């Protein structure tokens, strides 16, 4: 289970790549991008098929980011997650958030084997403040059900 300290350590990072932004505005990677950008994070969208995402230059890979980033959020299909985690390691990124819906046992094992700090299966928008009402409600449900990281 993810700890509160791990979540807090991730959220203090200011330069964050998001793998999984899309031309489809309804995709969750785009919601993460928009919300974190509003909250003052420096966001680097990653998608090899896009040039611009939410008004920001989009990068084809984590290794193509200028000057590196502090952390990465992965919001892709689970079958692609391990590849992204491997790419993050090769790019020197040591903090990874595997968004709910992108979880992969292989990716989690890779992170453990390579001493990479990772969060898996949690929604970053529940924790990044100020959280919108829907995310606060979701967090409250997790708290009363004992699923909230402690």
Return the percent helix, strand and coil in the chain, to nearest 5: 40, 20, 40
Whole-model pTM: value is: 0.92
Q: Domain residues of the chain, as ranges?
A: 4-144
Give the residue, 66 or 85, on which the prediction is more confident: 85
**How far apart, in whole angstroms, are the C-alpha atoms of residue 78 and residue 103?**
6
Give the residue, 94 or 26, on which the prediction is more confident: 94
The tens digit of pLDDT for each residue in 67-84 reads 879 999 999 999 999 999
Binned at pLDDT 50, 70 and 90, residue 134 comes out as: confident
The CATH T-level fold of domain 4-144 is Rossmann fold (3.40.50)
The predicted structure's pLDDT at residue 1: 54
């Amino acid at each position: 289970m993810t700890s509160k300290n791990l979540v807090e350590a991730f959220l203090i990072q200011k330069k964050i790549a998001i793998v999984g932004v899309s031309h489809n505005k309804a995709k969750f990677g785009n919601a993460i991008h928009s919300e974190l950008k509003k909250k003052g994070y420096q966001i680097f969208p990653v998608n090899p098929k896009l040039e611009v995402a939410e008004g920001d230059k989009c990068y084809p890979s984590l290794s193509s980011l200028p000057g590196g980033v502090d952390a990465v959020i992965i919001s892709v299909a689970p079958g692609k997650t391990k590849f992204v985690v491997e790419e993050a390691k090769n790019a020197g990124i040591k903090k990874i958030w595997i968004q709910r819906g992108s979880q992969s046992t292989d990716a989690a094992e890779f992170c453990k084997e390579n001493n990479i700090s990772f969060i898996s299966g949690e929604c970053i928008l529940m924790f990044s403040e100020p959280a919108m009402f829907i995310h606060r409600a979701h967090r409250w449900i997790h708290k009363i059900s004992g699923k909230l990281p402690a």
